[in-house]
Structure 1
Protein backbone atom coordinates (compact mmCIF):
# COMPACT_ATOMS: atom_id res chain seq x y z
CA UNK A 1 0.00 0.00 0.00
CA UNK A 2 1.42 3.38 -1.04
CA UNK A 3 -0.75 5.83 0.90
CA UNK A 4 -3.29 5.71 3.72
CA UNK A 5 -5.62 8.72 3.51
CA UNK A 6 -7.08 9.64 6.90
CA UNK A 7 -10.03 12.02 7.14
CA UNK A 8 -11.44 13.02 10.54
CA UNK A 9 -15.16 13.82 10.44
CA UNK A 10 -17.35 15.64 12.93
CA UNK A 11 -20.83 16.47 11.61
CA UNK A 12 -19.55 17.46 8.16
CA UNK A 13 -21.13 14.77 6.00
CA UNK A 14 -21.75 16.94 2.91
CA UNK A 15 -18.19 18.26 2.99
CA UNK A 16 -16.85 14.78 3.66
CA UNK A 17 -18.61 13.38 0.58
CA UNK A 18 -17.11 16.12 -1.60
CA UNK A 19 -13.65 15.40 -0.20
CA UNK A 20 -13.90 11.64 -0.74
CA UNK A 21 -15.34 12.13 -4.23
CA UNK A 22 -12.41 14.38 -5.15
CA UNK A 23 -9.94 11.76 -3.87
CA UNK A 24 -11.59 9.03 -5.94
CA UNK A 25 -11.74 11.27 -9.02
CA UNK A 26 -8.26 12.80 -8.92
CA UNK A 27 -6.03 10.09 -7.44
CA UNK A 28 -4.42 7.95 -10.13
CA UNK A 29 -1.53 5.51 -10.57
CA UNK A 30 -1.08 4.81 -6.86
CA UNK A 31 -2.34 2.24 -4.36
CA UNK A 32 -4.26 3.89 -1.54
CA UNK A 33 -6.88 3.38 1.14
CA UNK A 34 -9.36 5.85 2.62
CA UNK A 35 -9.92 5.81 6.37
CA UNK A 36 -12.64 8.01 7.87
CA UNK A 37 -12.43 8.47 11.62
CA UNK A 38 -15.69 9.84 12.98
CA UNK A 39 -15.74 11.83 16.24
CA UNK A 40 -19.19 10.64 17.36
CA UNK A 41 -21.14 12.66 14.78
CA UNK A 42 -24.91 12.80 14.71
CA UNK A 43 -25.12 13.49 10.95
CA UNK A 44 -25.88 9.87 9.99
CA UNK A 45 -22.48 9.77 8.32
CA UNK A 46 -21.79 6.09 8.97
CA UNK A 47 -24.90 4.95 7.12
CA UNK A 48 -24.42 7.46 4.29
CA UNK A 49 -20.75 6.58 3.77
CA UNK A 50 -21.51 2.86 3.87
CA UNK A 51 -24.32 3.19 1.32
CA UNK A 52 -22.39 5.47 -1.03
CA UNK A 53 -18.91 3.95 -0.97
CA UNK A 54 -19.39 0.41 0.36
CA UNK A 55 -15.90 -1.07 0.90
CA UNK A 56 -14.04 1.89 -0.67
CA UNK A 57 -13.92 3.60 2.75
CA UNK A 58 -12.84 2.15 6.08
CA UNK A 59 -15.14 3.90 8.57
CA UNK A 60 -14.07 4.06 12.23
CA UNK A 61 -16.83 5.26 14.57
CA UNK A 62 -15.62 6.68 17.89
CA UNK A 63 -17.79 6.80 21.01
CA UNK A 64 -16.74 10.39 21.82
CA UNK A 65 -15.40 13.51 20.14
CA UNK A 66 -11.72 13.18 21.03
CA UNK A 67 -10.42 15.98 18.81
CA UNK A 68 -8.34 16.23 15.65
CA UNK A 69 -4.96 14.82 16.62
CA UNK A 70 -6.20 11.94 18.75
CA UNK A 71 -8.71 10.92 16.07
CA UNK A 72 -5.94 10.91 13.46
CA UNK A 73 -3.91 8.73 15.83
CA UNK A 74 -6.74 6.17 15.72
CA UNK A 75 -6.52 6.16 11.94
CA UNK A 76 -2.74 5.83 12.00
CA UNK A 77 -3.09 2.73 14.20
CA UNK A 78 -4.82 0.81 11.40
CA UNK A 79 -3.14 2.49 8.40
CA UNK A 80 -1.39 0.14 5.98
CA UNK A 81 0.33 2.68 3.72
CA UNK A 82 4.03 3.49 3.83
CA UNK A 83 2.96 7.15 3.64
CA UNK A 84 0.14 8.63 5.74
CA UNK A 85 -1.91 11.48 4.27
CA UNK A 86 -3.98 13.57 6.68
CA UNK A 87 -6.80 15.34 4.85
CA UNK A 88 -9.48 17.64 6.23
CA UNK A 89 -13.10 16.96 5.24
CA UNK A 90 -13.43 20.59 4.05
CA UNK A 91 -11.02 20.03 1.17
CA UNK A 92 -11.27 19.29 -2.55
CA UNK A 93 -8.35 17.94 -4.55
CA UNK A 94 -7.59 20.00 -7.65
CA UNK A 95 -5.18 17.49 -9.17
CA UNK A 96 -3.39 14.21 -8.45
CA UNK A 97 -2.03 15.80 -5.29
CA UNK A 98 -1.73 12.58 -3.29
CA UNK A 99 0.58 10.91 -5.82
CA UNK A 100 2.59 14.15 -6.14
CA UNK A 101 3.20 14.27 -2.38
CA UNK A 102 3.89 10.55 -2.11
CA UNK A 103 6.40 10.67 -4.97
CA UNK A 104 8.13 13.64 -3.36
CA UNK A 105 8.53 11.73 -0.09
CA UNK A 106 9.71 8.61 -1.90
CA UNK A 107 12.29 10.58 -3.90
CA UNK A 108 13.72 12.48 -0.92
CA UNK A 109 15.04 10.30 1.88
CA UNK A 110 15.73 13.25 4.21
CA UNK A 111 12.16 14.58 3.98
CA UNK A 112 9.69 13.36 6.58
CA UNK A 113 6.66 15.55 5.86
CA UNK A 114 5.27 17.06 2.64
CA UNK A 115 2.37 19.52 2.60
CA UNK A 116 0.17 20.58 -0.31
CA UNK A 117 -0.45 24.09 -1.58
CA UNK A 118 -3.82 25.23 -0.24
CA UNK A 119 -6.26 27.57 -2.00
CA UNK A 120 -9.44 29.39 -1.08
CA UNK A 121 -12.57 28.50 -3.01
CA UNK A 122 -12.07 31.63 -5.18
CA UNK A 123 -8.67 30.32 -6.28
CA UNK A 124 -6.54 32.68 -4.19
CA UNK A 125 -3.62 31.38 -2.16
CA UNK A 126 -4.17 30.28 1.41
CA UNK A 127 -1.44 29.95 4.07
CA UNK A 128 -0.04 26.45 3.63
CA UNK A 129 3.05 26.38 5.84
CA UNK A 130 4.99 28.34 8.43
CA UNK A 131 8.61 29.42 8.78
CA UNK A 132 8.24 30.27 12.48
CA UNK A 133 7.57 28.22 15.59
CA UNK A 134 5.34 29.87 18.22
CA UNK A 135 7.59 31.42 20.85
CA UNK A 136 8.23 34.45 23.05
CA UNK A 137 9.76 36.17 20.03
CA UNK A 138 6.54 35.73 18.08
CA UNK A 139 4.45 37.06 20.98
CA UNK A 140 6.74 40.10 21.34
CA UNK A 141 6.52 40.66 17.60
CA UNK A 142 2.74 40.72 17.89
CA UNK A 143 2.89 43.10 20.85
CA UNK A 144 5.15 45.63 19.17
CA UNK A 145 3.97 45.11 15.56
CA UNK A 146 7.48 44.13 14.50
CA UNK A 147 6.59 43.26 10.93
CA UNK A 148 10.10 42.12 10.06
CA UNK A 149 9.81 39.33 12.65
CA UNK A 150 6.37 38.15 11.63
CA UNK A 151 5.69 35.10 9.50
CA UNK A 152 5.31 36.66 6.07
CA UNK A 153 6.25 33.63 4.01
CA UNK A 154 3.33 31.25 4.29
CA UNK A 155 2.28 30.87 0.64
CA UNK A 156 4.23 29.49 -2.29
CA UNK A 157 3.39 31.03 -5.65
CA UNK A 158 6.19 29.22 -7.47
CA UNK A 159 6.38 25.63 -8.69
CA UNK A 160 9.40 24.87 -6.51
CA UNK A 161 9.16 23.00 -3.22
CA UNK A 162 10.06 25.12 -0.17
CA UNK A 163 11.46 23.88 3.13
CA UNK A 164 9.37 24.98 6.12
CA UNK A 165 9.18 24.68 9.89
CA UNK A 166 5.69 23.16 9.65
CA UNK A 167 2.85 22.63 7.17
CA UNK A 168 -0.88 23.07 7.66
CA UNK A 169 -2.51 19.89 8.92
CA UNK A 170 -5.41 20.13 6.46
CA UNK A 171 -3.31 18.33 3.83
CA UNK A 172 -0.05 16.89 5.09
CA UNK A 173 1.68 13.61 4.26
CA UNK A 174 4.10 11.83 6.59
CA UNK A 175 6.24 8.77 6.09
CA UNK A 176 5.10 5.89 8.31
CA UNK A 177 8.72 5.21 9.26
CA UNK A 178 9.01 8.82 10.47
CA UNK A 179 5.95 8.40 12.69
CA UNK A 180 7.55 5.30 14.18
CA UNK A 181 10.58 7.39 15.16
CA UNK A 182 8.94 10.70 16.17
CA UNK A 183 5.65 9.40 17.55
CA UNK A 184 2.06 10.33 16.72
CA UNK A 185 0.14 13.50 17.60
CA UNK A 186 0.55 14.61 21.21
CA UNK A 187 -2.72 13.56 22.93
CA UNK A 188 -2.69 16.69 25.12
CA UNK A 189 -4.04 18.68 22.15
CA UNK A 190 -7.71 18.71 21.24
CA UNK A 191 -7.63 20.91 18.14
CA UNK A 192 -5.21 23.46 16.60
CA UNK A 193 -1.41 23.76 16.84
CA UNK A 194 -0.91 20.00 17.17
CA UNK A 195 0.61 19.77 13.69
CA UNK A 196 3.15 22.49 14.53
CA UNK A 197 4.27 20.63 17.64
CA UNK A 198 4.37 17.35 15.67
CA UNK A 199 6.47 18.91 12.92
CA UNK A 200 8.80 20.30 15.60
CA UNK A 201 9.37 16.78 16.97
CA UNK A 202 9.85 15.39 13.48
CA UNK A 203 12.49 18.02 12.69
CA UNK A 204 14.24 17.20 15.97
CA UNK A 205 14.57 13.63 14.70
CA UNK A 206 16.53 14.98 11.72
CA UNK A 207 13.85 14.99 9.01
CA UNK A 208 13.05 17.95 6.77
CA UNK A 209 9.60 19.36 6.06
CA UNK A 210 8.57 20.75 2.68
CA UNK A 211 5.68 22.54 1.03
CA UNK A 212 5.10 21.01 -2.41
CA UNK A 213 3.21 23.50 -4.60
CA UNK A 214 2.54 21.06 -7.45
CA UNK A 215 0.07 19.34 -5.11
CA UNK A 216 -2.96 21.64 -5.20
CA UNK A 217 -5.94 21.41 -2.86
CA UNK A 218 -8.87 23.74 -2.19
CA UNK A 219 -9.41 24.23 1.54
CA UNK A 220 -12.79 25.61 2.58
CA UNK A 221 -11.23 26.77 5.85
CA UNK A 222 -13.73 27.10 8.68
CA UNK A 223 -16.67 25.50 6.86
CA UNK A 224 -16.38 22.48 9.16
CA UNK A 225 -16.28 24.68 12.28
CA UNK A 226 -19.28 26.98 12.24
CA UNK A 227 -19.02 28.91 15.52
CA UNK A 228 -16.27 31.49 15.21
CA UNK A 229 -16.05 32.30 18.94
CA UNK A 230 -15.71 28.65 19.83
CA UNK A 231 -13.18 28.27 17.05
CA UNK A 232 -11.09 31.15 18.37
CA UNK A 233 -11.14 29.66 21.86
CA UNK A 234 -9.96 26.34 20.43
CA UNK A 235 -7.10 28.19 18.71
CA UNK A 236 -6.10 29.83 21.98
CA UNK A 237 -6.17 26.54 23.84
CA UNK A 238 -4.15 24.93 21.04
CA UNK A 239 -1.29 27.41 21.04
CA UNK A 240 -1.23 27.50 24.84
CA UNK A 241 -0.98 23.71 24.93
CA UNK A 242 1.89 23.97 22.45
CA UNK A 243 3.65 26.40 24.78
CA UNK A 244 3.08 24.13 27.78
CA UNK A 245 4.54 21.03 26.12
CA UNK A 246 7.41 22.91 24.44
CA UNK A 247 8.71 25.22 27.15
CA UNK A 248 9.42 25.30 30.90
CA UNK A 249 7.30 27.02 33.55
CA UNK A 250 9.29 30.28 33.64
CA UNK A 251 9.11 30.64 29.86
CA UNK A 252 5.35 30.07 29.94
CA UNK A 253 4.96 32.68 32.68
CA UNK A 254 6.73 35.21 30.44
CA UNK A 255 4.43 34.24 27.59
CA UNK A 256 1.36 34.84 29.78
CA UNK A 257 2.66 38.27 30.79
CA UNK A 258 3.32 39.34 27.20
CA UNK A 259 -0.07 38.04 26.09
CA UNK A 260 -1.81 40.00 28.87
CA UNK A 261 0.05 43.22 28.00
CA UNK A 262 -0.87 42.75 24.32
CA UNK A 263 -4.56 42.32 25.14
CA UNK A 264 -4.75 45.35 27.46
CA UNK A 265 -2.79 47.61 25.10
CA UNK A 266 -5.00 46.66 22.14
CA UNK A 267 -8.13 47.37 24.16
CA UNK A 268 -6.85 50.83 25.08
CA UNK A 269 -5.81 51.63 21.50
CA UNK A 270 -9.06 50.51 19.88
CA UNK A 271 -11.23 52.22 22.50
CA UNK A 272 -9.41 55.45 21.70
CA UNK A 273 -9.92 54.83 17.98
CA UNK A 274 -13.54 53.71 18.59
CA UNK A 275 -13.13 50.53 16.55
CA UNK A 276 -16.06 48.49 17.88
CA UNK A 277 -15.27 45.27 16.01
CA UNK A 278 -11.69 45.29 17.25
CA UNK A 279 -12.84 46.13 20.77
CA UNK A 280 -15.20 43.13 20.77
CA UNK A 281 -12.39 40.84 19.60
CA UNK A 282 -9.95 41.97 22.30
CA UNK A 283 -12.69 41.84 24.94
CA UNK A 284 -13.13 38.21 23.97
CA UNK A 285 -9.39 37.72 24.35
CA UNK A 286 -9.48 39.39 27.76
CA UNK A 287 -12.31 37.15 28.96
CA UNK A 288 -10.34 34.09 27.82
CA UNK A 289 -6.95 35.25 29.06
CA UNK A 290 -6.63 32.39 31.60
CA UNK A 291 -4.90 29.31 30.29
CA UNK A 292 -7.33 26.42 30.73
CA UNK A 293 -4.85 23.69 29.92
Structure 2
Protein backbone atom coordinates (compact mmCIF):
# COMPACT_ATOMS: atom_id res chain seq x y z
CA UNK A 1 0.00 0.00 0.00
CA UNK A 2 1.12 3.58 -0.49
CA UNK A 3 -0.03 6.79 1.17
CA UNK A 4 -2.60 7.48 -1.53
CA UNK A 5 -6.22 6.80 -0.65
CA UNK A 6 -8.73 6.61 -3.47
CA UNK A 7 -12.42 7.21 -2.93
CA UNK A 8 -14.25 5.18 -5.58
CA UNK A 9 -17.69 6.55 -6.47
CA UNK A 10 -20.07 4.45 -8.55
CA UNK A 11 -23.41 6.10 -9.36
CA UNK A 12 -26.22 3.60 -9.91
CA UNK A 13 -29.82 3.69 -11.03
CA UNK A 14 -31.39 0.34 -11.87
CA UNK A 15 -27.90 -0.91 -12.72
CA UNK A 16 -28.10 -4.53 -11.54
CA UNK A 17 -27.62 -5.92 -15.05
CA UNK A 18 -24.17 -4.32 -15.44
CA UNK A 19 -22.88 -3.50 -11.96
CA UNK A 20 -21.62 -6.96 -11.07
CA UNK A 21 -19.02 -6.94 -13.82
CA UNK A 22 -17.62 -3.62 -12.61
CA UNK A 23 -17.42 -4.76 -9.00
CA UNK A 24 -15.66 -7.96 -10.01
CA UNK A 25 -13.08 -5.95 -11.97
CA UNK A 26 -12.19 -3.60 -9.10
CA UNK A 27 -9.65 -5.65 -7.09
CA UNK A 28 -7.44 -6.41 -10.09
CA UNK A 29 -8.01 -2.96 -11.58
CA UNK A 30 -6.89 -1.25 -8.37
CA UNK A 31 -3.90 -3.57 -8.06
CA UNK A 32 -3.34 -3.20 -4.32
CA UNK A 33 -4.11 0.50 -4.04
CA UNK A 34 -5.69 1.76 -0.84
CA UNK A 35 -9.31 2.57 -1.61
CA UNK A 36 -12.82 2.92 -0.27
CA UNK A 37 -15.84 2.07 -2.42
CA UNK A 38 -19.11 4.01 -2.32
CA UNK A 39 -21.95 2.80 -4.49
CA UNK A 40 -24.29 5.79 -4.39
CA UNK A 41 -27.72 4.64 -5.47
CA UNK A 42 -30.36 6.91 -7.00
CA UNK A 43 -33.37 4.98 -5.72
CA UNK A 44 -33.06 1.88 -7.89
CA UNK A 45 -36.16 -0.29 -8.22
CA UNK A 46 -34.19 -3.38 -9.22
CA UNK A 47 -31.63 -5.51 -7.33
CA UNK A 48 -28.78 -2.97 -7.50
CA UNK A 49 -28.54 -2.40 -3.75
CA UNK A 50 -28.94 -6.07 -2.83
CA UNK A 51 -26.33 -7.05 -5.42
CA UNK A 52 -23.84 -4.53 -4.01
CA UNK A 53 -24.43 -5.59 -0.42
CA UNK A 54 -24.05 -9.23 -1.39
CA UNK A 55 -20.82 -8.54 -3.26
CA UNK A 56 -19.39 -6.67 -0.26
CA UNK A 57 -20.23 -9.59 2.01
CA UNK A 58 -18.40 -11.90 -0.38
CA UNK A 59 -15.39 -9.55 -0.39
CA UNK A 60 -14.84 -8.69 3.28
CA UNK A 61 -11.39 -7.27 2.48
CA UNK A 62 -13.03 -4.44 0.47
CA UNK A 63 -13.77 -1.30 2.46
CA UNK A 64 -17.07 -0.02 1.12
CA UNK A 65 -20.78 0.51 1.39
CA UNK A 66 -23.99 1.68 -0.26
CA UNK A 67 -25.18 5.28 0.01
CA UNK A 68 -28.90 5.63 -0.85
CA UNK A 69 -29.84 9.11 -2.03
CA UNK A 70 -33.57 8.61 -1.45
CA UNK A 71 -34.51 9.63 -4.99
CA UNK A 72 -33.26 9.87 -8.55
CA UNK A 73 -31.17 12.98 -7.98
CA UNK A 74 -29.03 12.78 -11.11
CA UNK A 75 -25.39 11.98 -11.75
CA UNK A 76 -23.72 15.14 -10.43
CA UNK A 77 -25.83 15.26 -7.27
CA UNK A 78 -25.01 11.63 -6.52
CA UNK A 79 -21.27 12.25 -6.91
CA UNK A 80 -21.49 15.23 -4.59
CA UNK A 81 -23.40 13.21 -2.01
CA UNK A 82 -20.74 10.50 -2.02
CA UNK A 83 -17.83 12.91 -1.74
CA UNK A 84 -19.46 14.94 1.04
CA UNK A 85 -19.62 11.92 3.32
CA UNK A 86 -16.26 10.42 2.31
CA UNK A 87 -13.37 10.16 4.73
CA UNK A 88 -10.18 12.03 3.71
CA UNK A 89 -8.91 10.89 0.32
CA UNK A 90 -6.15 11.90 -2.07
CA UNK A 91 -8.13 11.26 -5.25
CA UNK A 92 -11.61 10.22 -6.35
CA UNK A 93 -12.26 7.60 -9.01
CA UNK A 94 -15.65 8.25 -10.64
CA UNK A 95 -17.02 5.18 -12.43
CA UNK A 96 -20.08 4.33 -14.48
CA UNK A 97 -21.50 0.93 -13.51
CA UNK A 98 -21.04 -0.33 -17.07
CA UNK A 99 -17.25 0.09 -16.98
CA UNK A 100 -14.83 -2.83 -16.65
CA UNK A 101 -11.31 -2.12 -15.40
CA UNK A 102 -8.46 -4.06 -16.91
CA UNK A 103 -5.91 -5.43 -14.41
CA UNK A 104 -3.63 -2.62 -13.28
CA UNK A 105 -5.77 0.14 -14.80
CA UNK A 106 -5.49 2.58 -11.91
CA UNK A 107 -1.73 2.56 -11.25
CA UNK A 108 -0.68 4.48 -14.41
CA UNK A 109 -3.58 6.88 -13.89
CA UNK A 110 -2.43 7.54 -10.35
CA UNK A 111 1.19 7.92 -11.45
CA UNK A 112 0.18 10.59 -13.97
CA UNK A 113 -2.02 12.37 -11.43
CA UNK A 114 0.80 12.47 -8.87
CA UNK A 115 3.65 13.26 -11.26
CA UNK A 116 5.21 16.71 -10.90
CA UNK A 117 4.27 18.87 -13.83
CA UNK A 118 6.50 20.88 -16.08
CA UNK A 119 7.36 24.35 -14.74
CA UNK A 120 4.60 26.75 -15.69
CA UNK A 121 2.32 23.99 -16.99
CA UNK A 122 -1.13 23.37 -15.50
CA UNK A 123 -1.30 20.77 -12.75
CA UNK A 124 -2.91 17.48 -13.68
CA UNK A 125 -6.34 17.46 -12.05
CA UNK A 126 -8.19 14.77 -14.04
CA UNK A 127 -6.82 11.58 -15.58
CA UNK A 128 -8.67 9.24 -17.93
CA UNK A 129 -7.70 5.86 -19.43
CA UNK A 130 -7.97 4.55 -22.95
CA UNK A 131 -11.45 3.10 -23.28
CA UNK A 132 -12.48 0.24 -25.51
CA UNK A 133 -15.78 -1.21 -26.71
CA UNK A 134 -16.83 -4.73 -25.81
CA UNK A 135 -15.50 -5.72 -29.26
CA UNK A 136 -12.05 -4.41 -28.31
CA UNK A 137 -12.18 -1.32 -30.51
CA UNK A 138 -10.70 1.94 -29.26
CA UNK A 139 -13.38 4.38 -28.14
CA UNK A 140 -12.56 7.95 -29.15
CA UNK A 141 -13.27 9.40 -25.71
CA UNK A 142 -11.11 12.55 -25.78
CA UNK A 143 -12.89 15.81 -26.51
CA UNK A 144 -12.26 19.42 -27.48
CA UNK A 145 -14.12 22.39 -26.04
CA UNK A 146 -17.56 22.98 -27.60
CA UNK A 147 -17.51 25.78 -30.17
CA UNK A 148 -19.73 27.16 -32.93
CA UNK A 149 -17.49 25.92 -35.79
CA UNK A 150 -17.33 22.47 -34.20
CA UNK A 151 -21.08 22.33 -33.72
CA UNK A 152 -21.68 23.26 -37.38
CA UNK A 153 -18.93 20.88 -38.49
CA UNK A 154 -20.61 17.99 -36.69
CA UNK A 155 -24.01 19.03 -38.09
CA UNK A 156 -22.69 18.82 -41.65
CA UNK A 157 -20.03 16.11 -41.46
CA UNK A 158 -21.24 14.01 -38.55
CA UNK A 159 -18.66 11.84 -36.82
CA UNK A 160 -16.00 12.61 -39.43
CA UNK A 161 -15.76 16.24 -38.31
CA UNK A 162 -13.36 15.42 -35.49
CA UNK A 163 -10.60 14.61 -38.00
CA UNK A 164 -10.05 18.38 -38.17
CA UNK A 165 -9.50 19.97 -34.76
CA UNK A 166 -11.59 23.08 -35.37
CA UNK A 167 -14.47 21.17 -36.99
CA UNK A 168 -15.31 18.57 -34.33
CA UNK A 169 -15.20 17.92 -30.62
CA UNK A 170 -14.10 14.28 -30.75
CA UNK A 171 -10.35 13.67 -31.01
CA UNK A 172 -10.09 11.08 -33.80
CA UNK A 173 -6.31 10.94 -34.26
CA UNK A 174 -5.17 7.49 -33.01
CA UNK A 175 -1.75 8.97 -32.14
CA UNK A 176 -3.41 11.10 -29.45
CA UNK A 177 -4.36 7.90 -27.63
CA UNK A 178 -0.76 6.65 -27.53
CA UNK A 179 0.58 9.60 -25.53
CA UNK A 180 -0.19 11.53 -22.34
CA UNK A 181 -2.41 13.86 -24.33
CA UNK A 182 -3.88 16.95 -22.67
CA UNK A 183 -7.47 17.65 -23.68
CA UNK A 184 -10.26 20.08 -22.82
CA UNK A 185 -12.44 17.25 -21.48
CA UNK A 186 -13.13 13.54 -21.86
CA UNK A 187 -16.20 11.37 -21.59
CA UNK A 188 -17.01 10.76 -17.96
CA UNK A 189 -17.39 6.98 -17.71
CA UNK A 190 -14.14 6.81 -15.73
CA UNK A 191 -12.34 9.82 -14.24
CA UNK A 192 -9.61 9.97 -11.62
CA UNK A 193 -9.71 13.42 -10.01
CA UNK A 194 -7.25 14.78 -7.46
CA UNK A 195 -8.60 15.90 -4.09
CA UNK A 196 -6.89 19.25 -4.65
CA UNK A 197 -8.75 19.75 -7.93
CA UNK A 198 -12.07 18.89 -6.31
CA UNK A 199 -11.38 21.19 -3.37
CA UNK A 200 -10.43 24.18 -5.50
CA UNK A 201 -13.11 23.71 -8.16
CA UNK A 202 -16.00 22.96 -5.82
CA UNK A 203 -18.81 20.44 -6.25
CA UNK A 204 -20.18 19.15 -9.52
CA UNK A 205 -22.96 21.26 -11.04
CA UNK A 206 -26.20 19.60 -9.96
CA UNK A 207 -28.28 21.62 -12.43
CA UNK A 208 -27.15 19.10 -15.05
CA UNK A 209 -29.21 16.03 -14.20
CA UNK A 210 -27.41 13.92 -16.79
CA UNK A 211 -25.03 14.78 -19.66
CA UNK A 212 -22.66 17.75 -19.90
CA UNK A 213 -21.88 17.58 -16.18
CA UNK A 214 -18.44 16.07 -16.85
CA UNK A 215 -17.81 18.66 -19.58
CA UNK A 216 -18.74 21.49 -17.23
CA UNK A 217 -16.49 20.17 -14.46
CA UNK A 218 -13.48 19.59 -16.73
CA UNK A 219 -13.77 23.06 -18.28
CA UNK A 220 -14.15 24.60 -14.83
CA UNK A 221 -11.10 22.65 -13.68
CA UNK A 222 -9.15 24.01 -16.65
CA UNK A 223 -10.29 27.51 -15.73
CA UNK A 224 -8.81 26.89 -12.27
CA UNK A 225 -5.46 25.67 -13.59
CA UNK A 226 -6.06 21.90 -13.72
CA UNK A 227 -5.56 19.88 -16.89
CA UNK A 228 -7.34 16.73 -18.08
CA UNK A 229 -4.83 14.15 -19.35
CA UNK A 230 -4.87 10.67 -20.82
CA UNK A 231 -2.89 7.81 -19.26
CA UNK A 232 -2.39 5.69 -22.41
CA UNK A 233 -1.18 2.61 -20.49
CA UNK A 234 -4.45 2.49 -18.53
CA UNK A 235 -7.21 0.51 -20.21
CA UNK A 236 -10.89 -0.02 -19.48
CA UNK A 237 -13.91 -1.40 -21.31
CA UNK A 238 -17.10 0.63 -21.56
CA UNK A 239 -20.28 -1.18 -22.47
CA UNK A 240 -22.02 2.10 -23.36
CA UNK A 241 -25.24 3.83 -22.42
CA UNK A 242 -28.71 4.25 -23.86
CA UNK A 243 -28.52 7.82 -25.15
CA UNK A 244 -28.41 6.76 -28.82
CA UNK A 245 -31.53 4.60 -28.47
CA UNK A 246 -33.58 6.53 -25.91
CA UNK A 247 -35.45 9.53 -27.31
CA UNK A 248 -35.74 11.11 -23.87
CA UNK A 249 -32.01 10.81 -23.13
CA UNK A 250 -30.96 12.06 -26.56
CA UNK A 251 -33.19 15.10 -26.15
CA UNK A 252 -31.66 15.77 -22.73
CA UNK A 253 -28.15 15.41 -24.13
CA UNK A 254 -28.90 17.88 -26.93
CA UNK A 255 -30.50 20.46 -24.65
CA UNK A 256 -27.72 20.25 -22.08
CA UNK A 257 -25.13 20.93 -24.76
CA UNK A 258 -26.82 24.28 -25.39
CA UNK A 259 -27.29 24.97 -21.68
CA UNK A 260 -23.60 24.41 -21.01
CA UNK A 261 -22.58 26.62 -23.93
CA UNK A 262 -24.82 29.41 -22.61
CA UNK A 263 -23.07 29.25 -19.22
CA UNK A 264 -19.81 30.22 -20.86
CA UNK A 265 -20.87 32.51 -23.72
CA UNK A 266 -23.20 35.47 -24.38
CA UNK A 267 -26.64 34.83 -25.84
CA UNK A 268 -25.88 35.87 -29.47
CA UNK A 269 -23.14 33.21 -29.66
CA UNK A 270 -25.45 30.75 -27.91
CA UNK A 271 -28.13 31.40 -30.53
CA UNK A 272 -25.69 30.37 -33.27
CA UNK A 273 -24.66 27.30 -31.30
CA UNK A 274 -28.32 26.39 -30.80
CA UNK A 275 -28.86 26.70 -34.57
CA UNK A 276 -25.96 24.32 -35.19
CA UNK A 277 -27.26 21.71 -32.77
CA UNK A 278 -30.74 22.03 -34.29
CA UNK A 279 -29.27 21.73 -37.80
CA UNK A 280 -27.67 18.43 -36.81
CA UNK A 281 -30.95 16.94 -35.62
CA UNK A 282 -33.54 18.42 -38.00
CA UNK A 283 -32.67 16.42 -41.17
CA UNK A 284 -32.53 13.20 -39.17
CA UNK A 285 -35.88 14.03 -37.60
CA UNK A 286 -37.35 14.63 -41.05
CA UNK A 287 -36.17 11.16 -42.05
CA UNK A 288 -38.08 9.69 -39.13
CA UNK A 289 -35.37 9.13 -36.52
CA UNK A 290 -37.20 9.03 -33.20
CA UNK A 291 -34.30 10.32 -31.09
CA UNK A 292 -33.77 13.31 -33.38
CA UNK A 293 -37.49 14.18 -33.36
CA UNK A 294 -37.37 14.31 -29.56
CA UNK A 295 -34.23 16.45 -29.68
CA UNK A 296 -35.78 18.93 -32.14
CA UNK A 297 -38.89 19.26 -29.98
CA UNK A 298 -36.81 19.93 -26.87
CA UNK A 299 -34.49 22.38 -28.64
CA UNK A 300 -37.40 24.39 -30.03
CA UNK A 301 -38.65 24.93 -26.49
CA UNK A 302 -35.36 26.64 -25.53
CA UNK A 303 -34.79 30.38 -25.75
CA UNK A 304 -31.02 30.96 -26.16
CA UNK A 305 -31.31 34.46 -24.72
CA UNK A 306 -32.29 33.12 -21.30
CA UNK A 307 -31.34 29.44 -21.27
CA UNK A 308 -31.12 28.44 -17.58
What range describes the TM-score normalised by the shorter chain of this pair? Answer: 0.7 to 0.9
Partners of 2:92 and 2:194 within 8 A in 1: yes
Deviations 1:118-148 (A, max 9, x none): 1000100112211x21122222323444943
Could you say which residue in structure 2 is the equivalent of 1:124? Answer: 137
CA–CA separation in structure 1 for the residues paired with 2:198 and 2:191: 13
Partners of 1:161 and 1:210 within 8 A in 2: yes
Could you say which residue in structure 1 is the equivalent of 2:298? Answer: 288
Shift of 1:263: 4.5
Is 1:197 aligned to 2:197, yes or no? no
TM score, norm. by length of structure 2: 0.83
Could you say which residue in structure 1 is the equivalent of 2:10? Answer: 7
Shift of 1:251: 2.5
CA–CA separation in structure 2 for the residues paired with 1:226 and 1:65: 21
Is 1:165 aligned to 2:165, yes or no? no
Is 1:142 aligned to 2:154, yes or no? yes
TM score, norm. by length of structure 1: 0.87
CA–CA separation in structure 1 for the residues paired with 2:155 and 2:237: 32
Could you say which residue in structure 2 is the equivalent of 1:84? Answer: 92
Partners of 2:251 and 2:291 within 8 A in 1: no
Shift of 1:152: 5.0
Give the alignment of 1:180-191 within 5 angstroms: 180-191=199-210
Match of 2:56 among 53, 57, 72: 53
Give the alignment of 1:55-74 within 5 angstroms: 56=62, 57-74=64-81
Shift of 1:48: 2.8
CA–CA separation in structure 1 for the residues paired with 2:270 and 2:245: 28
Partners of 2:102 and 2:235 within 8 A in 1: yes
Could you say which residue in structure 2 is the equivalent of 1:220? Answer: 239
Is 1:32 aligned to 2:44, yes or no? no
Deviations 1:64-121 (A, max 9, x none): 1011111111111123320111011001111211222112111135211101111000
CA–CA separation in structure 2 for the residues paired with 1:29 and 1:176: 20
Alpha-carbon distance change, 178 to 138 in structure 1, aligned in 2, over 3 angstroms: same
Alpha-carbon distance change, 96 to 283 in structure 1, aligned in 2, over 3 angstroms: same
Shift of 1:247: 2.1
Paired residue total: 283
Match of 1:115 among 81, 103, 128: 128
Alpha-carbon distance change, 152 to 12 in structure 1, aligned in 2, over 3 angstroms: closer
Single out whichever of 48-57 and 150-159 deviates more from structure 2.
150-159
Aligned Cα root-mean-square deviation (Å):
2.5
CA–CA separation in structure 2 for the residues paired with 1:281 and 1:40: 26
Unaligned runs of 5+ in 2: 118-122, 303-307
Q: Which runs of 4+ in 1 moved over 6 A?
A: none
Q: Secondary structure at the match of 1:289?
A: helix
Partners of 2:248 and 2:294 within 8 A in 1: no
CA–CA separation in structure 2 for the residues paired with 1:139 and 1:291: 19
